[in-house]
Amino acid sequence: MTNKILARKKSLRNKRKLRIRNSIFGIAQKPRVSIFRSNKYLYAQAIDDQNQVTLACVDGKKLQLGNNKENAKEIAKVFAQSLKDKGISSVVFDRNGYLYHGVIAAFADSLRENGIML
């Protein structure tokens, strides 16, 4: 892809990201789950925006799991367990400007399957 096309894709994702972030806010009882997807790995963290702290996080690189649907389900399973250990059962999902499709949707569905309400 040319630089012009890549710049446009990045610009559109940033617009979606800002539009989403204006409408959601995480608190200690219901934190915001922010997801980041690189070309190789998937990362997620539960953030309390009120106190500006990270409550739980998961790193696909440390788990040696890549960025595909099957690995996203495993990462979500580990993340759901760490949220349950902290006493969190309900979260607000921040897709971080990514389209709700593929890996992002698989991650969210797996969180629901493991007892976390979105």
Domain boundaries, the chain: 3-113
Provide the pLDDT for residue 28. 84
Q: What sign for the dihedral angle of Cα 46, 51, 91, 23?
A: negative
Cβ atoms of 115 and 56 closer than 8 Å: no
Provide the pLDDT for residue 12. 94
The model's pTM:
0.89
Architecture in CATH for domain 3-113 = 2-Layer Sandwich (3.30)
Query: Block means of pLDDT (10 residues each) for the chain, length 118 residues?
Result: 92 91 88 94 95 95 94 97 95 92 96 95
If one counts every other C-beta atom within 10 angstroms of the C-beta of residue 118, the result is 11
d(CA 108, CA 8): 27
Cβ atoms of 30 and 50 closer than 8 Å: no
